[in-house]
Amino acid sequence: MNALSCFKAYDIRGKLGEELNDAIAYRIGRAFAAWLKKTSESDAALTVVVGGDVRLTSSALKLSLSNGLMDMGVNVIDLGMTGTEEIYFATFHLGVAGGIEVTASHNPIDYNGMKLVQAGAKPLDSQDFAALRQLAEANMFYGAMTKGRLTRGDLLDAYTSHLLTYIQPARIQPLKLVVNAGNGAAGHVIDALEQVFANLNMPVGFIKVHHEANGQFPHGIPNPLLPECRADTAKAVLDYQADMGIAWDGDFDRCFLFDENGEFIEGYYIVGLLAEAFLQRHPGASIVHDPRLTWNTLDVVTQAGGKAIQSKTGHAFIKETMRAEDAVYGGEMSAHHYFRDFAYCDSGMIPWLLVAELMSVKQQPLSQLVAERIAKYPCSGELNFTVSDVALCLERVQQHFSSTHEVDGNPLVDLTDGLSMTFADWRFNLRGSNTEPVLRLNVESRGNMERVTQKTEEVNALLS
């Protein structure tokens, strides 16, 4: 049995060549088909939707994956170049057995991967994912009596129509928006929405940056979470005097927002903004958040009469918690936003539509919508540290801040996801990445940016 290192905590991602290639993609297709048949309650032929991001290798990997599915008797609907959320949408909209997006999101150009969901766009839990991995590694399959069929599909109209159900188009006031599609993955959706807006007489103009699809990534790896990947969007906002800037990652399941001054807005504050908006529509509803940055979200949700529920970081965990609690909305500070009416899945398109509506209704620029919350709960932003021993580093940091020198006294320690330590006027979360060999740090305080800077430097010294 050959171990497949491309299987990560809850998706598939690996370096092209040895870790992920056409042969492995074919095995994954066969394994997913075998797993679906084992878990299916129906004897009818199963169907899986597939799509791929803009990467140069995605089409070939998707074809090998599809051949694996079809050789096991599963029908395949190929949606072409898509974002991950288009596969989520297609899976629940069409009522098919599963969906697979070929993508490595924000990873380097020499990587690729897959995101898989079962019926209803529900993620595979850890046990299911382990079973899938075992099937792929064993590579012991029997061909189907009847090979599955391959058809081409296009759900762009249905998908964009669904996106518009989250806002009231008549509320939208004149807006000029910079949209940075990274290297074009999100471009086709923006073009489709632009036409829909025109048909509805919505007064929204788009300034398109890095809009054309180009799998060679001429504008760098599409990951606006990194400060070095934000300059082009910020500059365009200022140059064109836009109302807001929007940038996406490689499979556009995350969107990143810039205010009218070209300032990047941490995803943490967008979570609070959207939580408040949903609680106005759904009084008393549950809101799910991750443990990395929490105080602003807890404050907003409590004030709005909602129920804040903490979940471990990561889409599989957030979605599981949202389903269990029937939460209307879930948000991670990493710019993943989840919606009950989107089958509890994350979307990079719904958030900016909601924010555009909020700006229109409140007649306030984005900077003003978040200014009070940023001042009340300043944060460090997520900082990454490459370390040789994650467990040892976490132990060292915990011992340091548990010692008597800490003037705040005994901290509250939470090990839900990595290490969270809470003091009177500041807190931090330090956790290992699910997909990369790094530690990620987030620090926040109660109205004291100097405290954030001081404590960030203190943790940095411990990890250096």
Q: pLDDT tens digits, residue range 281-323?
A: 999 999 999 999 999 999 999 999 999 999 999 999 999 999 9
Question: What is the C-alpha to C-alpha distance for residues 232 and 283, in angstroms, rounded to an integer?
Answer: 39
pLDDT tier at 405 (50, 70, 90 boundaries)?
low
Q: Which of 211, 269, 207 is nearest to 238 (CA)?
A: 207
Instruction: Note whether 102 and 122 are same-domain residues.
Output: yes
Is residue 209 predicted with pLDDT exceeding 90? yes
Question: What is the C-alpha to C-alpha distance for residues 391 and 427, in angstroms, rounded to an integer?
Answer: 20
What value does the mean pLDDT take over residues 191-195?
98
| pLDDT score recorded for residue 408 | 59
Chain centroid, CA 60 distance in Å: 24
Q: Which residues contact 189 (CB under 8 A, 6 or more apart)?
A: 83, 86, 156, 159, 160, 252, 349
Instruction: Note whether 142 and 198 are same-domain residues.
Output: no
Q: Is residue 3 part of a domain?
A: no
Domain end among 94, 121, 154:
154
| pLDDT score recorded for residue 293 | 98
Instruction: Note whether 32 and 56 are same-domain residues.
Output: yes
Q: Which residues contact 170 (CB under 8 A, 6 or more apart)?
A: none
Residue 453: exposure state from Cβ atoms within 10 A (0-12, 13-18, ≥19): middle
Catalytic residues: 105
Percent of the chain with pLDDT over 70: 97
Question: What is the C-alpha to C-alpha distance for residues 301 and 282, in angstroms, rounded to an integer?
Answer: 12
Tell me the CA end-to-end span of the chain in Å, nearest whole number.
39
Q: Is residue 234 part of a domain?
A: yes
Instruction: Note whether 304 and 274 are same-domain residues.
Output: yes
Other Cβ atoms within 10 Å of 186 Cβ, number: 29
Q: Which residues contact 126 (CB under 8 A, 6 or more apart)?
A: 9, 10, 316
* Each residue's pLDDT tens digit, 413-428: 999 899 999 999 999 9
Q: Is residue 454 part of a domain?
A: yes
Q: Which of 55, 132, 62, 116 is nearest to 84 (CA)?
A: 116
Contact in structure between 151 and 75 (CB atoms under 8 Å): yes
| pLDDT score recorded for residue 135 | 97
Reported pTM: 0.96
| pLDDT score recorded for residue 43 | 64
Which one-letter DSSP state was computed for residue 124? P
pLDDT tier at 124 (50, 70, 90 boundaries)?
very high
Percent of the chain with pLDDT over 90: 89
Instruction: Note whether 58 and 180 are same-domain residues.
Output: no
Q: Which of 86, 225, 85, 66 is nearest to 148 (CA)?
A: 66
Total domains present in the chain: 4
* Each residue's pLDDT tens digit, 16-75: 999 999 999 999 999 999 999 998 876 678 999 999 999 999 999 999 999 999 999 999
Question: What is the C-alpha to C-alpha distance for residues 378 and 270, in angstroms, rounded to an integer?
Answer: 13
Instruction: Note whether 342 and 393 are same-domain residues.
Output: no
Contact in structure between 458 and 391 (CB atoms under 8 Å): no
Instruction: Note whether 253 and 296 are same-domain residues.
Output: no
pLDDT tier at 437 (50, 70, 90 boundaries)?
confident
Strand ranges for 171-320 from DSSP E: 175-180, 204-209, 244-248, 255-258, 264-265, 286-289, 307-310
Chain-wide mean pLDDT for the chain?
A: 95
| CATH code of the domain in which 141 resides | 3.40.120.10
Range of the domain at 38: 12-154
